[in-house]
Amino acid sequence: MRSILSLVLALGSVAPLAAQVSVPVPPTKMTNPALRNVPPRILVDTMGTPYEVNAPAGRVYTALLRVYAEDLKIKAELSDSSLLQVGNLAFNARGTLGGRRVSAFLECGSGMTGDYADAYPIYVSLVSFIQPVDANRASVRTALIANAYNVTEGARPIQNCWSNGEFESRVSKLVIKKLAQ
């Protein structure tokens, strides 16, 4: 009886095959370099929603480089055309990220001075990945890892930040806009 109940509960918690979505995006590991003797943060997952674009991966890569330089004003220190990756693993943002308020994209907590994302310097790792779908289409995914830090506080100088997904979505939309030009 107990095993039948366990089986029923197990089967009830599984979504039907028709409801399951299979996305052919391999998991990727991204490490935020250590900051002032704080262990590095590691993000291991599918890194957000892949946005499919109607352009070959090479064109998407070129458009992504332009988005980083022209729209986001972020130096793409990582620009690997063989791996189809663009980004910067270690840079600081203060007040704005990609031309907008940091707190519009990141949740880092808040205190008496307001959102830590807007008040503190933010240590950021940002990488965009391009995955060819076929000869004329590719998908773009962006990973954003960040920490807010306050050098004046001794007890808790580092605040982990969490992305709300808006920045990653914005990168993909800017790529689509660049490709249309």
pLDDT tens column, 153-162 = 665 678 888 8
**Number of folded domains in the chain?**
1
Residue 20 placed within a domain = no
Residue 119 placed within a domain = yes
Q: What is the pLDDT of residues 74-128, one digit of tens each?
A: 999 999 999 999 999 889 998 899 899 999 999 988 888 788 888 888 989 899 9
Residue 46 placed within a domain = yes
d(C-alpha 66, C-alpha 71), whole Å:
7
d(C-alpha 35, C-alpha 110), whole Å:
21
Q: Which residue has the higher pLDDT, 6 or 48?
A: 48
Q: What is the pLDDT of residues 128-141, one digit of tens each?
A: 999 999 999 999 99
Residue 172 placed within a domain = yes
pLDDT of the residue at 16: 41
Residue 138 placed within a domain = yes
Residue 152 placed within a domain = yes
Residue 149 placed within a domain = yes
Structural domain harbouring 94: 25-180
Q: Are 53 and 137 in contact (CB under 8 A)?
A: yes
Count of helix runs (H) and strand runs (E) in the chain: 4, 13
pTM greater than 0.95 (yes/no): no
pLDDT at 165 over 90: no
- The upper half-sphere exposure of residue 13, i.e. CA atoms within 13 Å in the direction of its Cβ, equals 6
- Single out the residue of 57, 64, 83 nearest to residue 136, CA to CA: 57
Residue 12 placed within a domain = no
